[in-house]
C-alpha cells in the first residue's frame, strides 16, 4: 500500500524552516532504490518579541535528504542574518533576555539594533518510518535530531552548544485529506552566554488536502513550551500551499502568524525541492 505524506520541520518559536514539503511515496517496496532530495529555501520574519525594537530575521537554508528503505537521513545548513537587540535565537525564538548584553531596554530612543550574519547551526536528522500494521491505522515516524553549534554565539546566531531532540509524527488519511500531528522534545546544551536556556516540548497539528493533482493547501497549528527561564510559550498558525510544477520538483510557500510575545508577529517563506 502506498501513501502520500507531508513533512514540515519547524523552527522552534521562529517558524519554520528549513520548511520542507515532501509529497511522495513514503513506503517503498523492499529493495527499492535509494532516493535523494535537495532543498533550498528563503524565510523572513519580523516581531518585537516583547522589546521596544523589532527583530528581523533572514534565513536561507540548504538541506539534503537521503532515503533508503524506511530510513531518511537529512543534513541542513543555513545562512542567517539577524537585526535586533539580541533576545531572539534562530531555531529557538524569543528568549526574553533581560540583560541584552549589558543594557536595560527602556525606550526605542535609547536603543539601537545591531545586525549579525553568518553560517547558522547545522542540523542532522534521522527518521525511521514504522511499517504499517493495519490498512486503517495512522502511519508513524520517529526522528532523532542533533544540532551542531556551527553558528557564532558571540554574534547571537546560536548558543554555541550541541542540542538534541526526539520527535514522533503521525499521519492519517481521511478521504482526500491527510491529517497529521507532531510531538517532540528538545534537550538543549547549557550555554555560558545564554545561561537561561531550558529543555522544552512542542506539539503541532495540521492537515493538507489537494486542490488539483499538482496543487495542495493546508494549515498547521504549532505550540511550544518556553525555551528559556525568562521567555513565554508560543502559539503560531501556518497556512501553506504546495505546487508540483514538474516531475521531481516541489515548491511550497507559506505565511506564519505568532500570537505570543516570543514568536514572530509575521513571517513568510518559500522552499524549492528537487527529488531523484
Average pLDDT on 175-185 reads 95
* Among the ranges given (119-128, 188-197, 242-251), the one the predictor scored with the smallest mean pLDDT: 188-197
Instruction: Summarize the chain as % helix, strand, coil (round to 5).
Output: 5, 55, 45
Give the model confidence (pLDDT) of 185-231 as tens digits.
999 998 888 888 999 999 999 999 999 999 999 999 999 999 888 88
30 vs 152, more confident: 152
Sign of the Cα torsion 6, 9, 15, 16 reads negative
Convert the pLDDT of each residue in 124-133 to its tens digit: 999 999 988 8
DSSP letter for each residue of 126-148: EEEEPPPSSTTSPEEEEEEEEEE
pLDDT surpassing 50 at residue 15: no
Is 70 exceeded by the pLDDT of residue 20?
no
535586533: which residue's cell?
Answer: 84
Q: 155 in the Ramachandran plot: left (φ > 0), alpha (ψ -120 to 50) or beta?
A: alpha
Using DSSP's 3-state secondary structure scheme, residue 47 falls into strand
pTM value? 0.85
Over range 6-11, report the average pLDDT. Answer: 45
Q: Domains (ranges, CATH) in the chain?
A: 35-275 (2.40.160.40)
Distance CA 67, CA 2 (A): 16
Amino acid at each position: 500500500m502506498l501513501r502520500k505524506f507531508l513533512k514540515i520541520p519547524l523552527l522552534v518559536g521562529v517558524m519554520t524552516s528549513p520548511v520542507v514539503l515532501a509529497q511522495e511515496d513514503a513506503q517503498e517496496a523492499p529493495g527499492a532504490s535509494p532516493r535523494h532530495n535537495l532543498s533550498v529555501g528563503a524565510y523572513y520574519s519580523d516581531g518585537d518579541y516583547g522589546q521596544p525594537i523589532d527583530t528581523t530575521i533572514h534565513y536561507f537554508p540548504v538541506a539534503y535528504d537521503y532515503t533508503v528503505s524506511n530510513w531518511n537521513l537529512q543534513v541542513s545548513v543555513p545562512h542567517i542574518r539577524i537585526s535586533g537587540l539580541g533576545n531572539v535565537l534562530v531555531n529557538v525564538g524569543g528568549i526574553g533576555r533581560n540583560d541584552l548584553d549589558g543594557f536595560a531596554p527602556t525606550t526605542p530612543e535609547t536603543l539601537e539594533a545591531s545586525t549579525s550574519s553568518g553560517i547558522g547551526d547545522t542540523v542532522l536528522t534521522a527518521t525511521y518510518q514504522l511499517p504499517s500494521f493495519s490498512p486503517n491505522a495512522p502511519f508513524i515516524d520517529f526522528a532523532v535530531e542533533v544540532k551542531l553549534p556551527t553558528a557564532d554565539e558571540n554574534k547571537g546566531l546560536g548558543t554555541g552548544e550541541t542540542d538534541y531532540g526526539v520527535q514522533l509524527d503521525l499521519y492519517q488519511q481521511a478521504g482526500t485529506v491527510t491529517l497529521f500531528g507532531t510531538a517532540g522534545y528538545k534537550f538543549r546544551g547549557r550555554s555560558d552566554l545564554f545561561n537561561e536556556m531550558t529543555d522544552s516540548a512542542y506539539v503541532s497539528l495540521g492537515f493538507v488536502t489537494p486542490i488539483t493533482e499538482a496543487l495542495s493547501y493546508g494549515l498547521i497549528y504549532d505550540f511550544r513550551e518556553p525555551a528559556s527561564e525568562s521567555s513565554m510559550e508560543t502559539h503560531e498558525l501556518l497556512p501553506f500551499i504546495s505546487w508540483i510544477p514538474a516531475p521531481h520538483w516541489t515548491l511550497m510557500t507559506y505565511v506564519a502568524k505568532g500570537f505570543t510575545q516570543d514568536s514572530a508577529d509575521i513571517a513568510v517563506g518559500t522552499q524549492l525541492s528537487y527529488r531523484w
